[in-house]
């Protein structure tokens, strides 16, 4: 599955290696990184676009959430609000689900209460483990991990591969290869905590994952990868035919941490908390990113083309 990306909107169109066209709305910060430093008070998610296809798989993406702070609750409220316009079926969590102590009341204050309305509406959450998560979280039923550190689940025409990037041992890699090789799903989506590509000043790319995991993602045609760990939003320029997103700013924020002018960034936002909404359609994934005051931060469409993916054609950017 070779993918092309187009970001439909009004402004300038860029061409990257003949594989991708990008158009950016004026509301979005484009390839440049938004530099405003003040966060506006929360307001309803007015900038949410409705789904474009009737039978698409719709989900929300949040990462580095488990703080129990007001920002987590604000994003929780925005998610609830956004669901009225964009009725997502489930939420994926990119790790650091519970920061600090993991006493029973922490699960209440850092997960159940902030997302109470969604949980009440029976919206399932599917969690990946982060470096702040005790692996016993896999037994916590609302995280839907089936008691496993790494697991897979399917929704419609998509299969999701959820990995434990804290401990990427040979057993997990073997499991991943088996699962990927078995999958004939239209969409293959992977997510885990540590980003293979990142422009973060503090952490940066997890280069070991490029050696151990990325070859499998390429070999078996994974389309999109989500990660957290970095406390901001970043859309990475396509690497080896794969689209990478970082959404680690859903309750923690490291302001100004995205390296300016780096080779990886297609778009980045490190000035306020964010969450993503995504829709997997017949031939395209549409995504939108909103800040905690409901303003659009990024949006676009990844077009899934019919021809097979040819990873070698995309030249990877360096760290």
Partner 1 sequence: MTRMLFIVGVTLMSLAAAPQQQGVNPFAQAMVDFKQRVGGYMKLRDEITKKIPEVKETGDPAKIHTREKALGDAIAKARVNAKPGDVFGADMVGYFKQILAEDWKSRRPADRKALFNELPRGVQIGINQPYPPTLPLVSVPPNLLAMLPMLPETLEYRLIDRYMLLRDRDANLVIDVLSNVLPQRDR
Residue with Cβ nearer partner 1 (133 or 298): 133
Q: Smallest Cα–Cα separation from 233: which of 271, 285, 193?
A: 271
3-class DSSP state of 34: coil
Residue with Cβ nearer partner 1 (54 or 122): 122
Q: Look at the chain and count its residues.
A: 319
CB of 135 to partner 1, least distance (A): 5
Residue with Cβ nearer partner 1 (51 or 142): 142
CB of 100 to partner 1, least distance (A): 5
Pick one of 67, 81, 97, 165: the residue that binds partner 1 (CB under 8 A).
165
CB of 83 to partner 1, least distance (A): 22
User: Does residue 171 interact with partner 1 by CB under 8 A?
Assistant: yes
Q: Which two tokens stand for residue 306?
A: 């019919």
User: Does residue 194 interact with partner 1 by CB under 8 A?
Assistant: yes
CB of 262 to partner 1, least distance (A): 12
3-class DSSP state of 92: strand
Binding map of partner 1 across residues 97-116, x = CB under 8 A, - = no contact: ---xxxxx-xx---------
**Which of the stretches 72-80, 85-93, 139-147, 272-280 binds partner 1 when contact is defined by CB under 8 A?**
139-147
**Which of the stretches 18-26, 35-43, 159-167, 296-304 binds partner 1 when contact is defined by CB under 8 A?**
159-167
CB of 260 to partner 1, least distance (A): 17
Q: What angle do CA 210, 213, 214 make, to 5 degrees?
A: 55
User: Does residue 211 interact with partner 1 by CB under 8 A?
Assistant: yes
Give the end-to-end CA distance of the chain in Å, rounded to a whole number: 26
Torsion on CA atoms 217, 219, 220, 224, rounded to nearest 10: 40
CB of 112 to partner 1, least distance (A): 9
Cβ atoms of 133 and 97 closer than 8 Å: yes
Pick one of 51, 204, 215, 296: the residue that binds partner 1 (CB under 8 A).
204
Write the burial class of residue 178 (CB in 10 Å: 0-12 exposed, 13-18 middle, 19+ buried): exposed
User: Does residue 206 interact with partner 1 by CB under 8 A?
Assistant: yes
Residue with Cβ nearer partner 1 (54 or 141): 141
Cβ atoms of 278 and 285 closer than 8 Å: yes
Q: Smallest Cα–Cα separation from 229: which of 209, 249, 210?
A: 249
Alpha carbon distances (Å) from 94 to 64, 185, 288, 311: 7, 22, 17, 25
Running DSSP on this structure, what letter comes out for residue 118? H
Q: Residue 144: left (phi > 0), alpha (psi -120 to 50), or beta?
A: left
User: Does residue 166 interact with partner 1 by CB under 8 A?
Assistant: yes
Residue with Cβ nearer partner 1 (72 or 137): 137
In the block, residue with structure tokens 């045609």: 221
Pick one of 22, 123, 128, 213: the residue that binds partner 1 (CB under 8 A).
213
DSSP lists the bridge partners of residue 3 as 304
The helix or strand, by DSSP H or E, that contains position 302, with its residue range, turns out to be strand 296-304
User: Does residue 256 interact with partner 1 by CB under 8 A?
Assistant: no
Pick one of 17, 70, 181, 202: the residue that binds partner 1 (CB under 8 A).
202
User: Does residue 69 interact with partner 1 by CB under 8 A?
Assistant: no
User: Which residues make up the interface to partner 1 (CB under 8 A)?
Assistant: 100-104, 106-107, 131-137, 139-142, 146-147, 165-171, 193-194, 202-204, 206-209, 211-213, 319
């Amino acid at each position: 599955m070779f993918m092309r990306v187009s970001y439909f909107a009004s402004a300038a169109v860029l061409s990257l290696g003949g594989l991708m066209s990008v158009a950016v709305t004026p509301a979005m910060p484009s390839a440049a990184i938004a530099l405003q430093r003040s966060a506006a008070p929360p307001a309803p998610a007015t900038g949410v676009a409705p789904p474009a296809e009737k039978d698409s798989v719709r989900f929300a993406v949040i990462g580095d959430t488990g703080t129990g702070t007001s920002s987590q609750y604000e994003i929780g409220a925005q998610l609830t609000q956004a669901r009225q316009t964009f009725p997502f079926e489930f939420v994926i969590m990119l790790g650091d689900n519970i920061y600090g102590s993991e006493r029973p009341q922490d699960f209440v204050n850092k997960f159940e209460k902030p997302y109470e309305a969604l949980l009440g509406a029976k919206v399932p959450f599917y969690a990946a483990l982060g470096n702040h998560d005790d692996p016993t979280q896999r037994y916590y039923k609302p995280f839907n991990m089936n008691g496993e550190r790494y697991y897979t689940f399917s929704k419609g025409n998509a299969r999701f591969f959820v990995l434990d990037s804290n401990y990427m041992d040979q057993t997990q890699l073997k499991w991943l290869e088996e699962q990927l090789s078995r999958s004939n799903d239209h969409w293959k989506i992977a997510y885990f905590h540590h980003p293979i590509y990142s422009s973060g000043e503090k952490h940066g790319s997890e280069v070991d994952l490029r050696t151990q995991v990325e070859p499998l993602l390429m070999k078996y045609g994974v389309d999109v990868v989500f990660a957290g760990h970095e406390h901001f939003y970043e859309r990475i320029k396509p690497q080896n035919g794969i689209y990478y997103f970082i959404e680690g700013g859903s309750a923690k924020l490291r302001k100004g941490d995205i390296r300016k002018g780096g080779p990886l960034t297609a778009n980045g936002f490190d000035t306020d908390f964010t969450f993503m909404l995504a829709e997997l359609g017949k031939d395209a994934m549409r995504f939108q990113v909103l800040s905690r005051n409901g303003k659009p931060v990024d949006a676009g469409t990844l077009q899934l083309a019919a021809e097979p993916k040819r990873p070698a054609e995309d030249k990877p950017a360096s760290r």
